[in-house]
Amino acid sequence: MAGPRQPINLVIAKGNKHLTKEEIKERRSSEVQPVTDDIAAPSFLTAKQKKEFDRIAEQLQKLKIMGETDCDTLARYVVAQELYAQAVKNLRVVQKQLPKDMAPLEMTAWAEALDKLDKRCDRYFKQATTAASALGLTISSRCKLVVPVKDEAPKANKFAQFGKAAGSA
């Protein structure tokens, strides 16, 4: 089964395929390039979230992997990340509130509250991680985006030594 289609620059850098100049030109022209004309934070974000959106969007634009169509995904990531951070803070507060002489009924209620917050943390973590992967913000997804740099130095001709010897004889 064939793997996912790779960008032509990656194919060239790997050197596994021998493509003609026409094939390379055709592949380059058919690849989708992100449109970066109007990247802006969605209006539903808070001022703090818009700052974070702009910071990350700038970095992704430098890598030339973010376009206008990615704005909503980045906004969802920013929101999920903030909700996750808030849920973790709330979880810590509830964990610290455990008194030493708590009655069994109170202990059950405390444990249920802790469990609800833990599930909320898990949900927001999964949402943030999913959006981060889609944007190339995780280590594993970023590794898939890296295009190896091909050494531009020309290879030495293996047969050059025979040409010199044949010419002098």
Show the domain range for 17. 1-31
6 part of a folded domain: yes
Q: Contact, 149 vs 10, CB < 8 A? A: no
pLDDT mean by block of 10 residues, the chain; 169 residues: 62 70 76 68 94 90 78 93 95 82 78 91 94 83 58 67 59
pLDDT number for residue 147 = 47
User: Domain check: are 24 and 38 in the same one?
Assistant: no
How far apart, in Å, do the first and last CA atoms of the chain sit?
54
pTM: 0.65
Alpha-carbon distance of 57 to 52, in angstroms, equals 8
Domain co-membership, 77 together with 126: yes
Q: What is the pLDDT of residue 100?
A: 75
Same domain, 24 and 92: no
